[in-house]
């Protein structure tokens, strides 16, 4: 056997080491090039039959419940706020927390299958019970838009606030969804140190701000949808509980309900979060000839166990466990049947409520 010259042997070893090093680097680069799934929205002509919704998901806690929600085969998921918990003015940290949640393997699998829309509440806004005074509200809005993969040319990116609307369906099988922003424009509330309430009622302040009110009135006035869903991070109808709510701004709550009375949108339903419990409330108007139902579903990763709150508008009992909601729609010939469900995080049905409406 011929001996290999030392110089050639050194070259062979050097080349092998270089090739091995490149292979390792290439593998590392490939590992860094992970392609994460993005959110998507249904085609506007799609007729919706199952709409799932929820709020209050702490990104540091177990996220396996997304498999349970996906097993219900929803046509759409609606976020009602507190997508993450990130009370900060550090937008790099804020983005980091959004990314941590978005890249979670359970949520990734979910958004690869189910379309998603939504709006924020306080903890994904950046400050507990926050409002117009939050100094990073514009930057925080951009992080929300990026998280939801809102197109760069979308109208919601061009105005102040995160409010938005969507329409799905065709003909009489149409659903309109109003995403209300109860953070960006909200005026300040003063702490209540006398009663059990967290805040003193603000009799002159605003939640939505005039810009958003004008938009909302125009959207309701021009709606021809058979079902109108209003999404609010905090509760609108319940007025007895001592925590943050539209009732802290009585004129704003009345103004919203008066819009429903004036324009009579068909089959209005409110979806709200925030409270770490689930309940269904109903408010009647037009001399008891019309009603609006509010479904509160919160939270996905944590709940207010032992909750025992008054609510003069509540139908049935409240549920104090982790939960999510679903609206199932049956488009009949002359009537539309809406069934509201609250499920525990394991998928067991806890609450059911039916509404029969006209087209």
Same domain, 20 and 81: no
Same domain, 81 and 11: no
Same domain, 7 and 48: no
Which DSSP state fits 4? P
* Strand 290-297, strand 278-285: pairing: antiparallel
**pTM summary value:** 0.91
Evaluate whether 313 touches 304 at the Cβ level (below 8 Å).
no
Half-sphere exposure in the Cβ direction for 210 (13 Å, CA): 1
Half-sphere exposure in the Cβ direction for 93 (13 Å, CA): 9
How far is residue 183 from each of residues 55, 122, 146, 187, 242, measured CA to CA in Å?
A: 15, 7, 18, 9, 19
Same domain, 51 and 128: yes
What is the domain count for the chain?
Answer: 2
Spatial neighbors of 205 by CB under 8 A, at least 6 apart, are 186, 187, 188, 189, 249, 252
What's the pLDDT score for residue 4? 55
Same domain, 83 and 20: no
Same domain, 349 and 265: yes
Same domain, 24 and 48: no
Evaluate whether 54 touches 273 at the Cβ level (below 8 Å).
yes
Same domain, 203 and 146: yes
Neighbours of 263 (CB within 10 A): 15
Same domain, 163 and 237: yes
CATH number, position 326: 3.60.21.70
Tell me how far the alpha carbon of residue 261 is from its chain's centroid.
Answer: 26
Q: Where are the alpha helices (DSSP H) in the chain?
A: 6-32, 65-71, 91-102, 105-111, 122-125, 137-147, 209-221, 250-263
What's the pLDDT score for residue 32? 56
- Listing from the earlier edge strand, what are the strands of the sheet with 50-54? 116-119, 76-80, 50-54, 323-331, 335-344, 349-358
pLDDT digits (tens, 9 = 90+) for 312-330: 999 999 999 999 999 999 9
Tell me which residue range forms the domain holding 6. Answer: 1-33
What's the pLDDT score for residue 17? 47
* Whole-number Å distance between alpha carbons of 322 and 65: 10
Measured at the alpha carbon of residue 286, what is the angle toward residues 236 and 210, in degrees to the nearest 5? 45
What's the pLDDT score for residue 27? 46
Same domain, 7 and 117: no
CA nearest to 131, candidates 193, 239, 208, 231: 208
In the predicted model, residues of the chain with pLDDT beneath 70 are 1-33
Same domain, 176 and 228: yes
What's the pLDDT score for residue 130? 99
Same domain, 60 and 206: yes
pLDDT digits (tens, 9 = 90+) for 328-353: 999 999 999 999 999 999 999 999 99
What's the pLDDT score for residue 288? 87
* Whole-number Å distance between alpha carbons of 41 and 222: 22
């Amino acid at each position: 056997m011929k001996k290999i010259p030392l110089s050639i042997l050194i070259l062979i070893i050097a080349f092998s080491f270089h090739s091995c090093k490149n292979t390792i680097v290439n593998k590392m680069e490939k590992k860094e090039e992970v392609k994460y799934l993005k959110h998507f929205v249904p085609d506007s002509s799609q007729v919706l039959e199952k709409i799932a919704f929820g709020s209050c998901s702490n990104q540091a806690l177990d996220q396996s419940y997304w498999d349970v929600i996906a097993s219900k085969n929803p046509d759409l998921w609606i976020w009602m706020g507190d997508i993450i918990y990130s009370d900060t003015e550090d937008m790099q940290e804020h983005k980091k927390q959004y990314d941590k949640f978005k890249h979670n393997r359970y949520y990734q699998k979910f958004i690869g299958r189910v379309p998603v829309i939504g709006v924020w509440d306080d903890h994904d806004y950046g400050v507990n019970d926050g409002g117009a005074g939050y100094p990073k509200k514009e930057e925080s809005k951009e992080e929300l838009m990026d998280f939801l993969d809102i197109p760069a040319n979308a109208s919601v990116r061009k105005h102040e606030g995160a409010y938005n609307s969507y329409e799905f369906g065709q003909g009489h099988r149409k659903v309109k969804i109003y995403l209300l922003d109860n953070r960006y424009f909200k005026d300040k509330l003063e702490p209540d140190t006398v009663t059990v309430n967290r805040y003193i009622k603000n009799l002159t302040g605003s939640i939505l701000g005039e810009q958003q009110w004008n938009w909302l009135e125009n959207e309701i006035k021009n709606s021809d949808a058979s079902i109108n869903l209003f999404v609010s991070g905090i509760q609108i109808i319940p007025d007895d509980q001592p925590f943050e709510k539209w009732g802290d701004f009585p004129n704003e709550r009345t103004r919203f309900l008066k819009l429903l009375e004036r324009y009579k949108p068909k089959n209005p339903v409110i979806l709200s979060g925030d409270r770490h419990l689930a309940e269904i409330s109903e408010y009647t108007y037009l001399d008891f000839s019309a009603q609006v139902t509010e479904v509160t579903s919160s939270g996905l990763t944590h709940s207010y166990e032992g909750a025992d709150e008054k609510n003069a508008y509540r139908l049935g009992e409240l549920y104090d466990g982790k939960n999510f909601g679903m609206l199932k729609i049956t488009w009949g010939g002359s009537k539309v049947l809406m069934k509201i469900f609250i499920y525990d995080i394991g998928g067991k049905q806890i609450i059911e409520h039916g509404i029969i409406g006209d087209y």
